[in-house]
């Protein structure tokens, strides 16, 4: 029922509405509330803020510890909240005491180790949920399972304020009859296609299709992902990120409200940019992070034009801090986009009303947010001699004030927008490169030492214990960048939607194990790695490199350049069919860092070629940071779509 309708029926009704600021919805209370909850949940494990009110936790370590030191079977008093858990597949109802059967399941001594870990997870989660309630007065629901997708699924099964466990043995039964569109990621067009093109109505129906068949139709990555999902397998890791990757501010202008003058667009852009700027400043103050790209999105309509269905293009430029600058740049982006949108169309008459176009939504956002190299959180502090590439107040300011972009000016044609490059002086550029060089020299000795003690290239018994493998490799501390949680007071007086916590314990993901298996044939010199630089340290350098004629990556040595196929094949044949998507690896280049050399050159290395095991040998404080750089990556989707010519005639979904 709409609010207005309800007022008619119940004039006394109290309707809670989203706060308004600058003429638009203001979500800050909700964002802050989410932050509060995150700051509690992140105490017990690696934590990923998945949305304004959802969080994933990797509780593997906490559960392992509990199992080793205080397993449920020895507990004398059992947490009431844990006893209220729903355990999928547990013979419910039929008169038996639910709590009693849950207690038995949680404390079972003869259980599969995986289920014992889940039981520990259930206790930890119950405690966390109570803690959230106590400290914030928000309730939350949770799912406890062996990976993110199952945990997410379970978290929605018993709301509000309850938790659901997915024992390993219940996965198949659960998925067999689950409507395909209930799975995260399959709620939209992909799910529709699965239903109408393949006749797949439940997740179980997916089992009939070979991985190749699914890849043929949906591409290599999606195909493999689907094949795995059908079996409850997901290698998707909990990310360890408490803060958003971008900020945005937008507003729609439906129907008659559509903006038809540049002046009105400018007015609203000012409002939106003001909010954005405020939030960016807050992020800078609280979290010491800087955004580097400003993006403008709009939707528009055009009347009586041949291509009146053309979309209004998005435009972006380097972001300059300061409300006025953001406003100015956003307007320039808009004008560039509008010219492109209108094309040859008579782009005259500004200022006054026009009959040609209307803007039905506007938004500005800031992305590429990186932590300021703090000297404590950054690897750069190990580049000795100087604090870090720009850790001082001085250079921070330089970064912000002097990174002056040249957004499209009003008189340029739109095509120039695309080639607009920042004409930036890079304060501290020289020093930064120097640090990189000294550091690699310095590190050489250090790393050699490490290698002597613990040769990273030795292949050791890998596939023995997947749990151990997983935990060893996955274990990380919290993300240093995320320390500045919002500390505002709890908002006790808004209720309604409860928060939802999704927890997973990916105890039997195999990707870490696989990654380890692949390493053998690679060289292990970390030097190649450290001759690169923390991209967050010099984000603008990349743009600079782009503009530099003489910058060219020197060829990598042959040994580095091509990963051994033998190695891959061997590992492939050794591995069970169940493998996470990321592990269907080939030697495609999926990402590289590029950094200037002092002499104007640059190195460029494939992420693929970095031996993950070297990370374990780094100082613990920086392991997480480095690990984030070489997170498993997807295969390019451009390669083979099946060997037969037939695939050329298949629907070009997702290609």
251 SS3 class: strand
Pick the piece of the chain touching DNA (CB under 7 A) from 203-211, 374-382, 434-442, 630-638.
630-638
Q: Which of 244, 358, 371, 428 binds DNA (CB under 7 A)?
A: 244
Out of 245, 267, 384, 552, name the contact with DNA by CB under 7 A. Answer: 245
Is there binding between residue 186 and DNA (CB under 7 A)?
yes
- Report how many residues bind DNA under the rule CB under 7 A: 58
Residue closer to DNA (CB basis): 455 or 591: 591
Is residue 53 a contact residue for DNA (CB under 7 A)? yes
Catalytic residue among 54, 64, 216, 596: 54
Taking the least distance from each CB to DNA, the nearer of 3 and 619 is: 3
Least distance to DNA from the beta carbon of 475, Å? 21
Contact positions with DNA (CB under 7 A) in 206-225? 219, 221-222
Query: Furthest-apart CA pair in the chain: how many Å?
Result: 80
Stretch that binds DNA, among 245-253, 373-381, 566-574, 617-625 (CB under 7 A): 245-253
Residues 350-389 that bind DNA (CB under 7 A): 361, 363, 365, 367
For the residues of 462-530, what is the DSSP string, one character each? -TT-HHHHHHHHH-----GGG-----PPP-TT--SSPEEEEEE--TT--HHHHHHHHGGGS---THHHH
Q: Are 503 and 332 in contact (CB under 8 A)?
A: no
| Shortest reach from residue 557's CB to DNA, in Å | 25
Look-up of token digits 């499209």: 408
Strands 46-51 and 54-58, bridge-based pairing: antiparallel
- Known catalytic residue at 54: yes
Q: Which CB sits closer to DNA, 24 or 231?
A: 24
Rank residues 103 and 181 by Cβ distance to DNA and give the closer one.
181
467 Rama class: left (phi>0) / alpha (psi -120 to 50) / beta: alpha
Name the residue nearer to DNA (CB basis): 311 or 598.
311
CB of 251 to DNA, least distance (A): 4
Cα separation, 239 vs 237, in Å, equals: 6
Selection from 557, 501, 548, 500 nearest residue 527 by Cα:
557
The Cβ-side half-sphere exposure at 307, using a 13 Å CA radius, reads: 9
Beta-strand ranges (E) seen in 52-178 are 54-58, 86-87, 140-145, 163-165
Q: Tell me if 343 contacts DNA by CB under 7 A.
A: no
Q: Does 634 bind DNA (CB under 7 A)?
A: yes
Cis peptide upstream of residue 160 (ω within 30 degrees of 0)? yes
Kindly state whether residue 442 participates in binding DNA, applying the rule CB under 7 A: no
Among 29, 314, 459, 565, binds DNA (CB under 7 A): 314
- Is 143 one of the binding residues for DNA (CB under 7 A)? no
Contacts 24+ apart (CB under 8 A), 443-447: 443/382, 443/526, 443/527, 443/530, 444/527, 447/525, 447/526, 447/527, 447/614, 447/617
Query: Min. distance of Cβ 357 from DNA in angstroms?
Result: 15
Rounded Cα distance, 127 and 326, in Å: 44
Q: How far apart are CA 412 and CA 340, in angstroms?
A: 11
| Strand, coil or helix: 351 | coil
Give the range of 122-130, 168-176, 541-549, 569-577 binding DNA by CB under 7 A. Answer: 541-549
Residue with smaller CB distance to DNA, 113 or 245: 245
- Smaller CB separation from DNA, 101 or 483: 483
Q: Which residues are within 8 A (CB) of 277 and not within 5 positions of it... i.e. 6 or more apart?
A: 321, 322, 323, 326
**Nearest approach, Cβ of residue 143 and DNA (Å):** 11
Give the interface with DNA as residue ranges (CB under 7 A): 24-25, 27, 31, 51-54, 152, 183-191, 219, 221-222, 239, 244-252, 254, 272, 275, 293, 295, 311, 313-318, 361, 363, 365, 367, 417-418, 500, 542-543, 546, 634, 637-638, 654-655
Catalytic residues: 54
């Amino acid at each position: 029922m709409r609010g207005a309708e309800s007022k008619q029926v119940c004039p006394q009704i109290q309707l809670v509405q989203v706060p308004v600021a600058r003429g638009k919805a203001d979500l800050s209370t909700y964002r802050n509330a989410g932050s509060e909850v995150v700051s509690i949940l992140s105490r017990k494990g690696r934590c990923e803020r998945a949305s304004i009110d959802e969080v994933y936790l990797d509780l593997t370590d906490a559960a392992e510890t509990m199992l080793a030191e205080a397993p449920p079977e020895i507990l004398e008093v059992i947490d009431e909240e844990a006893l209220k858990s729903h355990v999928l597949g547990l013979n419910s109802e039929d008169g038996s005491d639910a709590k009693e059967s849950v207690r038995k399941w949680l404390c079972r001594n003869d259980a599969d180790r995986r289920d014992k870990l889940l039981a520990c997870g259930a206790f930890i989660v119950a405690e966390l949920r109570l803690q959230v309630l106590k400290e914030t007065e928000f309730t939350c629901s949770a799912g406890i399972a062996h990976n993110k997708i199952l945990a997410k699924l379970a978290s929605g099964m018993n709301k509000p304020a309850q938790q659901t466990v997915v024992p390993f043995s219940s996965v198949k039964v659960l998925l067999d009859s689950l409507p395909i569109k209930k799975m995260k990621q399959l709620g939209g067009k992909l799910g529709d296609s699965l239903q109408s093109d393949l006749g797949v109505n439940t997740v179980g129906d997916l089992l009939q299709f070979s991985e190749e068949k699914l890849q043929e139709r949906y591409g290599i990555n999606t195909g493999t992902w689907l094949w795995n999902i059908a079996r409850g397998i997901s290698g998707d890791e909990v990310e360890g990120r408490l803060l958003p990757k971008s900020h945005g501010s937008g507003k729609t202008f439906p129907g008659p409200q559509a903006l038809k003058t540049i002046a009105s667009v400018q007015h609203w852009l000012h409002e939106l940019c003001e909010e954005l700027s405020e939030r960016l400043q807050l992020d800078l103050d609280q979290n010491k992070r800087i955004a580097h790209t400003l993006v403008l999105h709009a939707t528009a309509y055009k009347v009586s034009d041949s291509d009146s269905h053309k979309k209004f293009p998005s435009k972006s430029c380097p972001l300059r801090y300061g409300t006025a600058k953001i406003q100015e740049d956003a307007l320039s982006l808009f004008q560039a986009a509008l010219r492109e949108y209108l094309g040859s169309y008579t782009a005259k008459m500004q200022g006054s009303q026009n009959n040609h176009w209307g803007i039905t939504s506007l938004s500005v956002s800031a992305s590429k947010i990186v932590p300021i190299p703090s000297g404590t959180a950054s690897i750069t502090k190990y580049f000795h001699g100087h604090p870090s590439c720009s850790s001082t107040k001085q250079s921070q300011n330089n970064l912000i004030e002097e990174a002056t972009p040249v957004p499209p000016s009003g008189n340029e044609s739109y095509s120039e927008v695309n080639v607009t490059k920042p004409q930036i002086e890079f304060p501290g550029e020289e020093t930064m490169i120097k640090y990189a060089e000294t550091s690699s020299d310095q590190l050489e000795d250090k790393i050699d030492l490490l290698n002597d003690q613990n040769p990273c290239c030795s292949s050791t018994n890998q596939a023995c214990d997947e749990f151990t493998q997983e935990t060893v490799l996955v274990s990380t501390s919290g993300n240093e960048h995320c320390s500045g949680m919002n500390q505002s007071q709890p908002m006790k007086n808004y209720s309604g939607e409860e928060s939802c916590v999704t927890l997973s314990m990916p105890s039997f993901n195999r990707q870490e194990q696989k990654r380890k298996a692949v390493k053998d044939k690679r060289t292990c010199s970390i030097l190649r790695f450290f001759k690169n630089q923390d991209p967050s340290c010099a984000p603008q350098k990349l743009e600079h490199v782009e503009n530099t004629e003489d910058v060219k990556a020197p060829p990598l040595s042959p040994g580095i350049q091509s990963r051994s196929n033998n190695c891959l094949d061997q590992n492939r044949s050794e591995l069970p069919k169940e493998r996470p998507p990321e592990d269907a690896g080939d030697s495609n280049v999926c990402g590289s860092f590029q950094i200037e050399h002092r002499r104007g050159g640059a190195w460029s290395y494939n992420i693929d070629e970095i031996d993950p095991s070297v990370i374990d040998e780094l100082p613990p404080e920086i392991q997480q940071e480095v690990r984030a750089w070489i997170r498993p990556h997807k295969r390019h989707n451009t390669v083979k779509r099946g060997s037969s010519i037939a695939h050329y005639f298949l629907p070009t979904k997702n290609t």
